[in-house]
A and B are shown apart, each in its own frame.
Chain A
């Protein structure tokens, strides 16, 4: 089974609107972390946001928030007030603490922000 599933290969959003990028995960590890990264067309990887499995509150970082639903095993990224510079690939990832701290990445979602 896939550890991380991102079901939206590509998405469009209008500038200034909010967008949700989906991510579901599969783990039996009681302690894990969930991550979102952004990869612009220039190729660099940029860390956006983190959610620990024991965190009670949803993580937020500026315009980014992580909608963590533990029972559903989902960790969706919400970008508010989209900007043209948000156009990029977005990767969801998970780290299993008791499974030797291994990282798993999803296949990514290509977000295009339209002016």
Chain B
């Protein structure tokens, strides 16, 4: 158990809908990272937050947004969902802004039908 929690584990929704994925980092970790893993795109880095501020941005679509709250948990919002958004979404946390050791959560499996 990495200490990173993600909810829900599975999510099935329809095209055009909006969902929110939640992540709680390990106790004491200030950085949260979001990744998408799909069959056709592989693993993609989406975004990083450090202590509430956006720190790094990857291939995150405009339909997606994220934030980190004062208690350090993070949410990834996916809107206007398309079939191609079906993927495993991982959250990871690390102690500092560029700490190299990241601890991954179990992931949220999103299925868009």
Contact = CB atoms under 8 A, between A and B. Distances in A.
Nearest to A50: B100
Given A45-B90, A45-B92, A91-B43, A101 B48 contact: yes
A95 to B, nearest CB: 8
A107 B38 CA distance: 11
Contacts of A104: 45
Task: Name B's interface SS.
Answer: strand
B106 A102 contact: no
Contacts of B67: none
B104 A46 contact: yes
Contacts of A101: 48, 55-56, 98
B106 A44 contact: yes
B42 interface: yes
A103 to B, nearest CB: 4
Contacts, number: 52
Contacts of B103: 47
A97 B100 CA distance: 11
A35 interface: yes
A102 B100 contact: no
Given A44-B2, A100-B56, A105 B107 contact: no
Contacts of B84: none
B102 interface: yes
Interface string A94-115: 0101001111111110000000
A43 interface: yes
B111 interface: no
The 10 A-B residue pairs whose C-beta atoms are closest, nearest first, are A103-B45, A101-B56, A105-B43, A45-B104, A50-B100, A100-B56, A102-B58, A107-B42, A47-B101, A47-B102
26 contacts: A33-B98, A33-B100, A35-B100, A43-B88, A43-B106, A44-B107, A45-B90, A47-B102, A47-B104, A50-B100, A91-B43, A95-B98, A95-B100, A97-B98, A100-B56, A102-B56, A102-B57, A103-B33, A103-B35, A103-B45, A103-B56, A103-B58, A105-B42, A105-B45, A107-B42, A108-B43
Given A45-B92, A102-B57, A103-B33, 14 more contacts: A43-B88, A44-B2, A44-B104, A45-B90, A50-B101, A95-B98, A97-B98, A100-B56, A102-B58, A103-B56, A104-B45, A106-B42, A107-B42, A108-B43
